[in-house]
Amino acid sequence: MRPTPPAPEVLDWLQSGDLAVQFQVTRDVLGHPAAALQARIAHEGAGAALLAARRPDGHWGEGFYQPKWTSSHYTLLELAELGLDPGHPLPRESVALILATGKGPDGGLDPTRELRRSDACVNGMGLRYAAYFGAPTTDLASIVDLLLGEQMSDGGFNCRRHRSGAKHGSVHTSVCVMEGFTTYAGSGHQHPLDEVVTATAGIVDFFLSHQLYRSHRTRAVMNPEFTRLHHPPRWHFDVLRGLQALAEADVPYDDRMAEGLQLLRDRRRADGRWVANRSYPGATHVPLPRAGQPNRWVTLRALRVLATYPQES
pLDDT means per 10 residues in the chain (313 residues)?
A: 79 98 96 97 98 98 97 98 98 98 96 88 98 98 98 96 91 98 98 98 98 95 97 98 98 97 97 96 95 97 95 52
User: What is the rounded CA–CA span in Å between residue 43 and residue 295?
Assistant: 23
Q: Which residues contact 252 (CB under 8 A, 6 or more apart)?
A: none
Instruction: Report yes or no on 6 lying in a domain.
Output: no
The answer to whether 273 and 227 have CB atoms below 8 angstroms apart is no
Count of domains forming the chain: 1
5: left (phi > 0), else alpha (psi -120 to 50), else beta?
A: beta
The predicted pLDDT at position 104 comes to 94
pLDDT value of residue 312: 47
Domain assignment of residue 143, yes or no: yes
Flag whether 239 is in a domain. Answer: yes
3-state helix, strand, coil in the chain (%, to 5): 50, 5, 45
First-to-last CA distance in the chain? 13
Residue-level pLDDT at 116: 84
Q: What range defines the domain where residue 204 resides?
A: 105-299
CA-to-CA distance for 74 and 69, rounded, in angstroms?
Answer: 6
Domain annotation covers residue 308:
no
Handedness of CA 16, 294, 307, 244 (dihedral sign): positive
Q: Is residue 185 part of a domain?
A: yes
- Whether residue 204 is contained in a domain is answered as yes
**pLDDT score, position 311:** 67
Say what the pTM is: 0.97
Residue 79 lies in a domain: no
Is residue 26 domain-resident?
Answer: no
211 CB burial (10 A radius; 0-12, 13-18, 19+): buried
* CA–CA separation, 286 and 232 (whole Å): 12
Alpha-carbon gap, residue 151 to 165, rounded angstroms: 14
Q: Where are the alpha helices (DSSP H) in 30-114?
A: 35-40, 45-52, 72-82, 89-101
Neighbours of 132 (CB within 10 A): 24
